[in-house]
Chains A and B, each alone.
Chain A
């Protein structure tokens, strides 16, 4: 962005946006926050970052306070829709533009939010399926590290939707006991020799799938979800083919820009449909570049 433009925008704004999420300020959300701050600085608006720390009650209070104080736009995540939908509907009724981010793709229309910015797990899984098709896998094991997490199950269902070969979807052991996880994957690989691909729906399980495959001398095509240094190293080394990246920086950056445009120019993006920030893929081609960006905290 050019220097002059930024200055004019900053002078003309004086707007205040609120971002109210279930953030725990962990590695994931700190990237969202960075994105939002960068966007706010670019448009010269003030950003109020209210992390709910996985407590929807806290989020309700924060949203009510924000409505009372007034705001030029609220971007909220929807970890538990039932509690948050009524209060966000109040915000819409009070004339505040509302955007949902990260979670809430099924409810943003009920709320009357302009659009949703995030990734849907199913579409991310579909993206992984297309990758496996391109890489020539015929039978992929979709390994889950939790037994009844809807998000993880949706990733596997998305994979099964687009992948042209067979998908075996199994829970293989918790991240808390990686010994069990590695051996669980090994047991399935040994029992079914036709498996030639592995999708770990988390970063730890993906690396463990690599270990299991190496232990058995099986050359698997491996995909993962999310970003950790270990998985990026493995991608750089060519042992893991790709990992699905939500690009959560966009989930912070885009809503601020969208709220700014709605406030200043009455633009509403998305046309009633959600705006997807993923799936982005980290592959051996861009792993080195992404590694540097992870160190900077924007990926």
Chain B
């Protein structure tokens, strides 16, 4: 790529009368650069021209949107579902398909191939044909075989396309039908069904035949060996082992709370032989025993003790799962906060680095990295050490408790209380109440175990690295001029002040103290950024000059009118005002009644209310027995289940018990009384508690809004209001945007039957707030072109608007996530904007290339991104005890996500850094030209087809080990989703342009859409309308942003 660019440039320059671009610039400021490819482009412009950036912004917008309208979407469970859908099959295939599309070809057989290759693998490995006595092949042999089949398929597709010169569309359409048919045909021919499975029949199950002739099967799969009280117990599931350990440690009977069948199956008499067989054989032995035959009659010798032929290993590789609720790390949140905040700070500094002009005397980037890395490592080390210290304290407490010998659960509750209220030095006061054993303490400290040596070592190493980095950075700078070291010191002081603010925020709880802390943080950030700038960038000549410039430009603005700036500014302000209006209008507390409602009840609502009324009537009489019933239910649970029950679980249990009691009470009444009660309840349900169900009448409102919007637009055309500059402004931009927003909002609410008013409120608010922000930022951008100072002033104003907005959100919002999370986030954004506005006034922006600074900026961006991801991952992967006590639903993450990330990283590296990657772009751009410069075009394309079929093989395995059985229809028709994901991610259908990271983001967008719609409880009938709208919007936005960025100068 680089080579062609330079070649093109050379030609262009020659045709330009021999004058160099810089000379033209010097002669007349207005003339464009001779060759725009040589013109310097600002940092945002450079970032926005990346193919994947539109998709990334779209993904962020969609996430925020669904986060706002649906509660489960933003939780760990929602994240796990999005990652799951995005990873496999969609993401992996989209990345491979994007590579192929960049290479200029399509593969319509890719969807069907995923299912086909999974079926091939299972057929090889399963003893389904009866042709291979002793079972099919080991997975270690089967996988390479099916991989060979996969690569053969890719090779076939590629070769046919190359040899015949036919469009790959046609060729792979043929392979698609062949695969689709073959899947069905072979499945039915060989196993007589439309699905092939089950893979987990390979599992080797440990069994023995007891003295009484019964077959005893151990828990298969993930088991551990234990021995208790001299008896050897083998193959016990980890949770069973945990329960036994818990019992033993607490001096209970080892098998307390374990079901009798579990107890029977885990005690193996020493003199009986244990052997392993696959599950179907277990069934056969069982049937034999039931029929009174010899247990092993008809069981092939080869199947006894055969092992699992690689199944357990492969399950770990392809389908391992991480059950979040089983992994506790109470220190998680500090790690998360430091990661996310530190990562964003790194990214922000990277933008500074790429935007501002460096001081002439700046040293290499080494000291900057040392300082930044040092701060981050120091903070993380501190977080871990804090955890260690806290744990030490708790262990001490637990010891005290065990001496006192009190009940363990009480002790646990006390420990949690201590943790929550941060009470220090209460040992002596609580010693008499505490009864935790050491085992309890270790359960409390499960998973990332701060009491372990490794953890401590890691904490100290991180801290030491942090200190070392800081020292090295400062040391490097000490040898330099005074101005620079002053900047560095200011920077570090700013960081320190921010940290003090964060600490204040953490330890205080009152609103005013929180505000003080927020102000301290803001001040710290400002000082830090100022210091960073003083340290590294060339100044503009002081604040006074800047204000002078601002005054000058304000005067200039008054002269020239500046409609281009005023237009988006006005539109933005109006949109913001509308968003505020909608939030106020739809605020349930304000008792709005503009919205037409109905009180008509459906059958199901009625019957539910009848139940409720009856429960209310009979409730008091059963209340006395309720506690005992609930207690009886709780006693049925195991200790561990009781621990995990939480408040929510208990509430559910209580509800169920109350319902059962009420039902019993109702049934015990005489029939006449039952009837009168029922009739009475029905009559009351009809009249009481009118419902607020929004009817279709609100659709009329949407329609009216649409008509009014169109009418106003038409009228303004007819009356030629364009002459009035303000009307022109509205007409050109604002009015169109506002009308579109209004119609879109009302249409979404009324026609698509959004489940909640709160959801509608959030949508309206976000749509208009987003439009307002876009308008203001557009004004900033245009203002900056007029003069730097005007841009800064507008940005300051925007920052102020965002801050006001944050306050509004905080006071008016109905949900905690808006009140706290959105509020904090908006405040941070406002601070970043204000500081940026300030910095652009203070420091000189870069107008020429500086490869060194760009390289450093890129590295900081990547590092920042990684740190943010690490922070988020930490939060997703671990729970805290507080969460468990509150009773959160379980969440799973699977190894499929790692496969997806790994595959994307690999493909991106290949595309960006290797010869093969360059060839891919070349053959996709112009295969003929590529061939003429020596690129092996045919080979490259064939290899790309093989890459796609490799991906299909991988996805097939991931599916097979997840689902155990593969339907013949698996993957049929999905190939278009892969192509769509690639296109959404910025890959061009014509080839030669695109990005694998973009395709991965495209997969995320699709996954968020298909998850978000049911999460928000929207009517699934409209699902594809939403999906289509989201996809169209993201593609159009992507193109628009790219075109704008390319065209801007």
Contact = CB atoms under 8 A, between A and B. Distances in A.
A204 B965 CA distance: 10
Contacts of B1023: 147, 171
Contacts of B198: 229-230
B77 A230 contact: no
Interface stretch (B536-544, B839-847, B1014-1022): B1014-1022
A216 B1016 contact: no
A216 B77 contact: yes
B195 A230 contact: yes
A191 B72 contact: yes
B615 to A, nearest CB: 13
Given A188-B1017, A230-B198, A217 B889 contact: yes
A190 B1010 contact: no
Contact of B1017 (A186, A192, A204, A228): A192
A176 B971 contact: yes
Contacts of A164: 607
A165 B197 contact: no
A27 B1010 contact: no
Contact of A170 (B604, B963, B1020): B1020
Given A172-B1014, A228-B193, A187 B81 contact: yes
Contact of B889 (A177, A204, A216): A216
Contacts of A175: 967, 969-970
Given A190-B78, A191-B70, A230-B198, A176 B969 contact: yes
Given A179-B84, A230-B965, A187 B1011 contact: yes
Contacts of B1024: 147
Contacts of A216: 77, 889-890
Contacts of B962: 179
Contacts of A171: 1020-1021, 1023
B850 to A, nearest CB: 46
B192 interface: yes
B197 A230 contact: yes
Among B73, B188, B959, B1020, chain A packs the most CB atoms within 10 A around the CB of: B1020
Contacts of A147: 1020-1021, 1023-1024
Given A184-B1010, A187-B72, A178 B1021 contact: no
Nearest to A203: B195
A228 B195 contact: yes
B193 A27 contact: yes
B472 to A, nearest CB: 47
B749 to A, nearest CB: 18
A277 to B, nearest CB: 21
Nearest to B969: A176
A27 B1017 CA distance: 36
Using C-beta atoms within 8 Å of the partner chain, give the interface range for chain A. Answer: 35 or more
Contacts of B969: 175-176
Given A26-B188, A179-B89, A183-B81, A191 B971 contact: no
A27 B1014 CA distance: 33
Contacts of B973: 174, 176
Interface in B980-1021: 1010-1012, 1014-1017, 1020-1021
B892 interface: yes
Contacts of A177: 89-90, 970-971, 974, 977
Interface residues of B, number: 51
Interface in A138-194: 147, 164-167, 170-180, 182-184, 186-188, 190-192
Given A26-B188, A27-B192, A184-B1011, A191 B970 contact: no
B77 A190 contact: yes
A285 interface: no
Contacts of B1016: 191
B567 interface: no
B639 interface: no
A173 to B, nearest CB: 7
A215 interface: yes
Interface in B176-226: 188, 192-195, 197-198
Contacts of A176: 111, 115, 967, 969-974
B368 to A, nearest CB: 43
Contacts of B85: 179-180, 183
Interface in A202-229: 204, 215-218, 228-229
A172 B195 contact: no
B259 interface: no
Contacts of B115: 176
A215 B962 CA distance: 13
Main secondary structure of the interface of A (DSSP, over half): mixed
Contacts of B72: 187, 190-191
B454 to A, nearest CB: 31
B724 interface: no
Given A26-B194, A27-B194, A166-B608, A178 B1014 contact: no
Contacts of B1010: 173, 180, 183-184
B1038 interface: no
Contacts of A184: 1010-1011, 1014
B88 interface: yes
A173 B1010 CA distance: 9
B608 A183 contact: no
B49 to A, nearest CB: 33
Contact of B970 (A172, A178, A192): A178
Nearest to B605: A166
Q: Which of A166, A183, A186, A187 has the most CB of B within 10 A?
A: A187
A175 B965 CA distance: 13
A187 B608 CA distance: 24
Interface in B619-667: none
Interface in B240-295: none
Interface string B920-946: 000000000000000000000000000
Contacts of B71: 191
B978 to A, nearest CB: 11
Contacts of B81: 183, 186-187
Contacts of B195: 204, 228-230
Contacts of B89: 177, 179
Interface in A1-39: 26-27
Nearest to B1017: A191
Contacts of B974: 176-177
A201 to B, nearest CB: 14
A55 B72 CA distance: 46
A166 B889 contact: no
Contact of B1014 (A165, A187, A218): A187
A190 B971 contact: no
Contacts of A165: 604, 607-608
Interface in B816-856: none
Nearest to B755: A191
B86 to A, nearest CB: 10
A170 B194 contact: no
Contact of A179 (B88, B194, B1014, B1020): B88
A121 to B, nearest CB: 19
A289 to B, nearest CB: 13
A26 B193 CA distance: 8
Given A178-B963, A183-B1010, A184-B1010, 18 more contacts: A26-B188, A147-B1020, A147-B1023, A167-B604, A171-B1020, A172-B1014, A174-B973, A177-B970, A179-B85, A179-B90, A183-B81, A183-B85, A183-B1011, A184-B1014, A187-B81, A188-B1015, A191-B72, A228-B195
Query: Considering the complex of A and B, which 9 residue pairs feature the smallest CB-CB distances, nearest first?
Result: A190-B72, A187-B1014, A183-B81, A170-B1020, A171-B1020, A217-B890, A187-B1015, A166-B604, A188-B1014
Interface of A: 26-27, 147, 164-167, 170-180, 182-184, 186-188, 190-192, 204, 215-218, 228-230
25 contacts: A26-B194, A27-B188, A165-B608, A170-B1020, A171-B1020, A174-B973, A175-B967, A176-B115, A176-B967, A176-B972, A177-B89, A179-B89, A179-B962, A182-B84, A183-B84, A186-B81, A187-B72, A187-B1011, A190-B78, A191-B72, A191-B1015, A204-B195, A230-B195, A230-B197, A230-B965
